[in-house]
Structure 1
Amino acid sequence: MKKGLSVIAFFMLIFLTACGGGGKIEGALNYEVEPFTFTNQNGDSVSLEDLKGKVWIADFIFTNCETVCPPMTAHMTKLQQEAEEAGVDVEFVSFSVDPEVDTPEKLKEFARNYDLSFDNWHFLTGYDQETIEEFAVSSFKAIVQKPKNNDQVIHGTKFYVIDQNGVVVKDFNGVENTPYEEIINVVKALQ
């Protein structure tokens, strides 16, 4: 009897360990973010390792965007403000999908159009176009593509919630009807 209980306990431990942080979230995506080290708006390096142990929310934007990026950044700004009001500890990361145009200075200038805080928000660049296209697909299952002879980049418009282990657990619409409360509840559930 003792041996049988030990075996059951062992398998339950393996099952619970395999679930990770996303195990608390119904319908978790469980995409693993690949290791990265990129440059933020201040010229500082930010890596996946720097974000380990923290819950973070990510999106893909670019400064010359004429359509979805301004509303996405406005929604992310509101999300940052609501998280602060709720006392929720979360980081924000915006990956540029046009890194050869979006220098740290240009990203900082873009961000200043919004009532946001740089305290917990990194606008990242410092890689080539091919890198961000591959990174978006492999880590977030998101398309990023810069057509030739066009300054508008095709990219996904989701907000992604990533757990303390660098695993994408949920995604949400970042352009319209962004569910701020639901996103904050997912972040709370991971903490």
Structure 2
Amino acid sequence: MGNGVLKWAAAAAVAVLLGIVAGMFVLRPQVLSITSGTLLKTPRPIDDFQLSAASGAAFSKADLAGHWTVVFAGFTFCPDVCPTTLTELKAVNARLGDAAKDVRFLFLSVDPERDTPEKIGQYIAFFDPAFQGATGDTAALEKLGANLGFVYAKVPGATPDSYTIDHSTALILIDPQARIAGYLTPPFKPDAMAADLEAIIAASN
């Protein structure tokens, strides 16, 4: 084989290699950049779970499928963080416009001793009737917390019933395939959060 043929073969091989590399960069999924938190490069699967919805019906992983879900873990006796966050989420929902049909907001109570499904329903309706609510027994909540990435701890009060609960303030973003897509972190700014959610939905369509 002559030098000319060798040079041509080498050049062709380099061109093919460069084409493959370029194709990898062009075709590789890009992670959307948001200002309200962090999106995972690869969505993380969620184990199935069994909770009770505010309506009293069963609530499981299947109820997260088919739409985006913003999950907030808290409790109805929360004096500050929870009502503030739910008020901000109400503002986010109002700013979503047409995109609101693709997003659910789920308040997950980590205080099953005091928060019955009925109480949760009354609580979230005060902020936005469109909000969903759920809770479960301690074992189910602890397992789900380890899976989703939220933590909480009971803090004793002056009396057995006056305890409070320390809990994570980050919001968990679940994609339509019921996988963890990312986390939204405080301080929450409704305009920015709504814009981020709209961008995420648009990028997924």
The TM-score normalised by the length of structure 2 is: 0.71
Would you say 1:99 and 2:112 are equivalent positions? yes
Counterpart residue number, 1:37: 50
2:84 is the alignment partner of 1:71:
yes
Question: Cα–Cα, structure 1 residues 47 and 111, in superposed 2: closer, same or farther, change >3 Å?
Answer: same
Structure 1, unaligned runs of 5 or more: none
More strand by share: 2
Q: Distance in 2 between matches of 1:129 and 1:106?
A: 17
Q: Where in structure 2 are there 5+ consecutive unaligned residues?
A: 1-15
- Describe the shift of the 1:93–1:71 C-alpha distance in structure 2 as closer, same or farther (beyond 3 A): same
For the structure 1 residues 134 and 144, does the alpha-carbon distance in structure 2 shift closer, same or farther, using more than 3 Å as the test?
Answer: farther
1:28 matched to 2:42? The reply is no
Whole-angstrom distance in 2 between the partners of 1:184 and 1:154: 31
- Aligned length, in residue pairs: 171
User: Percent identity among equivalent residues?
Assistant: 22
Cα displacement (A) at 1:187: 3.1
Aligned mate of 1:122, from 125, 132, 143: 132
- Higher deviation after alignment, 153-162 or 85-94: 85-94
Question: Which residue does 1:144 correspond to in 2?
Answer: 152
Residue 148 of structure 1 and its aligned partner are, at CA, apart by 4.1
Output the TM-score relative to the length of structure 1: 0.75
Match in the other structure for 1:185: 199
Greater C-alpha radius of gyration: 2
**Residues 3-62 of structure 1: CA deviation (Å, up to 9, x unaligned):** x9xxx8xxx8xx97xx7xxx6535632332221221111112222112222221111121
Computed over aligned residues only, the root mean square deviation of the Cα atoms, in angstroms, reads 2.7
Q: What is the rounded CA distance, in whole Å, between the counterparts of 1:24 and 1:153 in structure 2?
A: 34
Q: Which 10-residue stretch deviates more, 88-97 or 27-36?
A: 27-36
